[in-house]
């Protein structure tokens, strides 16, 4: 399992993120505090992540390619 922190400033970033995540064959979640939503759910991610720094949890260790794709649309925080 791996995780990253991202901040979505625009809705278009969230749409692109969910499009990337929808192509994955593994599960992933977006977490803010105690609230967790499916990373493949546009409604869930929009409601949780707009203009906030959230944690993206990948339920696999083989996701470096996906992280690179996400980094192309939104900055990844350390």
Q: What is the pLDDT of residue 50?
A: 83
Per-residue model confidence as pLDDT tens digits over 15-57: 999 999 999 999 999 999 999 999 999 999 999 988 889 999 9
Domains and CATH numbers, the chain: 2-77 (3.30.1340.10)
Q: What is the pLDDT of residue 78?
A: 61
Residue 3's pLDDT band (cuts 50, 70, 90): very high
- Residues 75 and 55: their CA atoms lie apart, in Å, by 13
Spatial contact of 77 and 52, defined as CB atoms under 8 Å apart: no
Cα angle: 71, vertex 42, 49; to 5 degrees: 60
């Amino acid at each position: 399992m791996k995780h990253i922190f991202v901040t979505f400033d625009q809705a278009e970033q969230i749409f692109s993120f969910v499009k990337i995540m929808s192509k994955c064959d593994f599960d992933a979640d977006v977490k803010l505090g105690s609230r967790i939503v499916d990373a493949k759910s546009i409604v869930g991610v929009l409601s949780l992540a707009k203009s906030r720094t959230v944690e993206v949890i990948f339920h696999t260790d083989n996701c470096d390619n996906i992280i690179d794709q996400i980094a192309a649309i939104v900055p990844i925080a350390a």
